[in-house]
Amino acid sequence: MKTKTLKLITSIALTGGLLVNSPELLPIGISTVQAAEQAAAPSVYIAPIDRAKFIAGGKFDFRVELNNLTAMPSSVSITVNGKDAEQFFDKPFVKTNTSKSQEFTIRDVMISTAGTYEVAVKADGLSKTVKYEVVLADNGGQKAKNVILFIGDGMAFPDITISRVMSKGLTEGKYNGLLEMDKFEQRAVVTTSGMDSIVTDSANSASAYNTGHKSAVNGLGIYPDNTESSLDDPKVETLAEMLKRSKKMSVGVVSTSEIEDATPAAVVSHTRRRADKPEIAEMLYKLQPEVILGGGSAYFLPKSTPGSKRKDDQDLFDMFQKKGYTIAENATQLKAANAPDKLLGLFHPSDMSVYYDRSTNNTAELKSFTDQPNLWDMTSKAIEVLSKNENGFFLMVEGASIDKQLHPMDWERAAYDTIEMDKALGVAKRFAEKNGDTMIVVTADHAHSVSLAGTYWEGDGKSGREGFRTYEEAKFPTYVDGNGDGFPDSPDVDRKLGVVFGSGTDYYEDYKFDPIPTSPAVKNKEGLYVANPAKLANPDDPDRDRFLRKGILNQTTDSTGVHTADDVPLMAYGPGSSYFKGTMDNTEVFFGLANALGVNLTDAKSDGKNWVQLSTFVNVIGGTVKYEATTREITVTVNGSSVILNLASGKATKAGKEVALDFKFNNGTTYVSTSSILEVLASK
């Protein structure tokens, strides 16, 4: 790869006005601290926040703020489990203040011993207490050597259904096939709210997956503080950082968005403002993932290069090359990269084009970027490079434009990108099946309000609302996959899916596919966002309002649809997949990943026992497990014989007699050693 060539292509694209603002670049929200200040009430803020959970030995910044003070307190007490915080962390506070606040910060600390910790702050009449849970990752049983995390950005349950219909079709109500993700048997649902809002953006949700901590809207790897700077907020260590320092594993980041965008950035970043993309590019350089593939080359170019989005003369391409990275600027060069040790591929100055436009060579949208790779080729190349590390790897793969097309209510392009990610998932699944040491998790960072309500058909002359068919009149859509590539041959068929949105703007929907991605709303002369006629096949249709869909959002601020707080799906496969079950908070996904990998950041040693989840083990051998919450007793029954585990006393009994059973309760799950449970079950 010649850097000059990339600079020239990038310059042409950027000066041609190809870059647009991402719909997810949200204004920084009001933190709990700021809200208290606006209410003119003195307050105590502690970061990490109440109920924060840590892997023992994970690094974080500890901060206490006394905000909106009317006078400086005469004394301040900050303790952890009754011990002075400076003594507990064995580091002094850095103390700062303004005319209305005092701050106490200790950077880069950890808690190495599992347990419950209480932080208490007292400052004259102010006081606050929070509790932390510190846990050891499960190191028993078979561990995954590699973990591949797929994030379908914005991929709600309905988007999966829509994509399955378009990809596989139905015959008499039964699907003709399933998506790869449909075939994963281990399943859970994930709640996604952030610390400051019921509805998340991609930054703080992806951050939860990568750190195990909540953040605020726009936050990545941090807790918000009361300073103006977005780069000094209290940090929490990411999984990638942990794996590099503790297990010497390789890390890969693959996305169809700008590589500095929220979800890929969450793997490496610490900033209150997800729009700090030049700085996020530098954070990628600091951690140096062995594989970086996506868009966003504008933030790697020095400001002297036309089209650069940097404000300094750093040339990150040159910096990465000097660190031994092979550079690719297009699909041809990516394919030619022969298993390098490190790989950086940036294929667009902004977000990569969506799959439909790439696959059809839609030059009206692609402009000069006609040689962009697809997501499954990027995934395959990433695995090829990362699997060279005998210590294993962590790879995050994002189907980014699912979200970026659901924002403008272009559900067809979103479905094509969902199918593209599913095919990348198939590449990973085949690798995992061959090697037997790789866990795959696929989930979404948040939902959208998209829903499949029927079909749309104009075959009898009706159009608009009259053309929308429900129940028996809906029948089945007529998508065809004649070439068997998993994608419908055309998104425009005579009977299309009838898709609706609940949290959108005013927009036109005539169920004709847009030749290029088109904004659903535009500003009128009064400054209000109104339905964009360019979404219609015939913008001059005198009766065009029969296609008008009324939105619910504020017309002065919102030009596209927004996220929703709906739960999102999670599917898992491979060693460690059993850690994902039931209803999980998004922070718990991090701990599932850590458990599957057996992350050990302390000097804790393995006891040599083969620990397995009790419920999974008993179910496999045909038994049952029942839990009685009032007595904290678990009853295991196999072939009519019962064993009772008392979690309060730590003792087990069979037929009224105490038996030697090794069991432990960790992270809400009971584990037993296989040798002891088999011996107890076999005993009389």
Active site residues: 202
Closest CA to 62 of 80, 74, 75: 80
Measured distance CA(90)–CA(600) in Å, rounded: 22
**Cα 203 versus chain centre, distance:** 8
- 618 conformational bin, left if phi > 0, alpha if psi -120 to 50, beta if neither: alpha
Both structure tokens of 235: 């940090």
Beta-carbon-side half-sphere exposure of residue 312 (alpha carbons within 13 Å)? 9
Beta-bridge partner residues of 150: 397, 442
Count the residues in the chain. 684
Closest CA to 222 of 270, 262, 282: 270
Query: What's the farthest any 2 CA atoms get from each other in the chain?
Result: 85
Place of tokens 């040790």: 341
Measured distance CA(446)–CA(286) in Å, rounded: 28
Contact (Cβ atoms closer than 8 angstroms) between residue 446 and residue 194? no
Residue 282 has phi, psi (to 5 degrees) of -70, -35
Measured distance CA(282)–CA(319) in Å, rounded: 10
- 266 conformational bin, left if phi > 0, alpha if psi -120 to 50, beta if neither: alpha
Buried b (16+ CB within 10 A) or exposed e, 341-369: ebbbbbbbbbbbbbbbbbeeebeebbeeb
Helix (H, G, I), strand (E, B) or coil at 417: helix
Residue 676: how many CB atoms within 10 A of its CB? Answer: 17
